[in-house]
Amino acid sequence: MGVLIWKPMPEPVLAPAPRRAARLAGRAGLALTGSAVAAVLLLCLAGPSAAVPALGGDGPPWSFSAAPAATPVILLCAAAIVAGALGTGAGLYALRRGWRPAPGPMLAVSAAAVLALVLVPPAGSTDVLNYAVYGRIAALGHDPYVTAPAWLHAVGDPVGAFAPPAWRNAPSVYGPVATWAQQAASWLGGASMARTVFAWKAMAGLAFLLSALLLDRLAGPGRARRVRAHLLWSLNPLMLWHVVAGGHVDGLGTLLLLGAFLAARRGDLGTGPRGGSGGRGGASGGVGGGLVAGVLLGAAAAVKAPFALAGAGLFWAARRSPATLAATAAGTLAALAAAYATRGPEALANVAGKVASRALADPWRVVAAALGEGPEAAALEGRLALGAAVLAAALLCLRLPAAPSGPLAGPLAGPQAGLQAVRPALACCLGWLLTSPMQHPWYDALLFPLLALMPACRLDGLMLVRGVVTSLVYLPGAVGLLALPPAPLVRWAAEVYRPWVAPLASDVVIACVVALALAGRLGARPLPPGPALPAGAGRADQRTS
- Mind listing the pLDDT tens digit of every residue in the chain (545 residues)? 444 343 433 444 444 445 788 999 999 999 999 999 999 999 999 999 999 999 987 779 999 999 999 999 999 999 999 999 999 999 999 999 999 999 999 999 999 999 999 999 999 999 999 999 999 999 999 999 999 999 999 999 999 999 999 899 999 999 999 999 999 999 999 999 999 999 999 999 999 999 999 999 999 888 999 999 999 999 999 999 999 999 999 999 999 999 999 998 876 665 444 434 344 444 555 888 899 999 999 999 999 999 999 999 999 988 888 999 999 999 999 999 999 999 989 999 998 888 767 888 888 888 877 777 777 777 777 888 889 999 999 999 999 988 765 433 332 233 344 477 899 999 999 999 999 988 899 999 999 999 999 999 999 999 999 999 999 999 999 998 888 888 888 999 999 999 999 999 999 999 999 999 999 999 877 665 444 333 333 333 333 23
Residue 63 makes CB contacts below 8 A (sequence gap 6+) with 44, 45, 46, 47, 48, 52, 120, 121
Residues 6+ apart with CB under 8 A from 443: 250, 306, 433
Task: Output the pLDDT for position 404.
Answer: 66
Secondary structure letter of residue 52 according to DSSP: S
- Rounded-to-10 torsion of CA 361, 365, 367, 373: 140
What pLDDT score was predicted for residue 497?
A: 94
In three-state form (DSSP H/G/I as H, E/B as E, the rest C), the secondary structure along 251-291 is HHHHHHHHHHHHHHHHCCCCCCCCCCCCCCCHHHHHHHHHH
Q: Which residues pair with 5 in a beta bridge?
A: 541
Q: What is the model's pLDDT at position 370?
A: 76
Q: What is the structure's pLDDT at 544?
A: 29
Helix axes 375-399, 422-435, angle to 10 degrees: 150
Residue 258's SS3 state is: helix
Q: What is the pLDDT of residue 284?
A: 56
> For helices 193-218 and 127-139, what crossing angle results, to 10°?
110
**184, amino acid identity:** A
Q: Is the peptide bond before 437 cis (omega within 30 degrees of 0)?
A: no
Residue 42 CB neighbour total at 10 angstroms: 14
| CB of 211 closer than 8 Å to CB of 233 | yes
List the one residue out of 240, 269, 267, 314 whose CA is nearest residue 87: 240
CA–CA separation, 15 and 37 (whole Å): 30
Choose among 218, 190, 166, 172: nearest CA to 419: 218
For 247, left (φ over 0), alpha (ψ -120 to 50), or beta?
left
What is the model's pLDDT at position 353? 81
Longest dimension (CA), the chain: 94
State CA 226 to chain mean position distance. Answer: 17
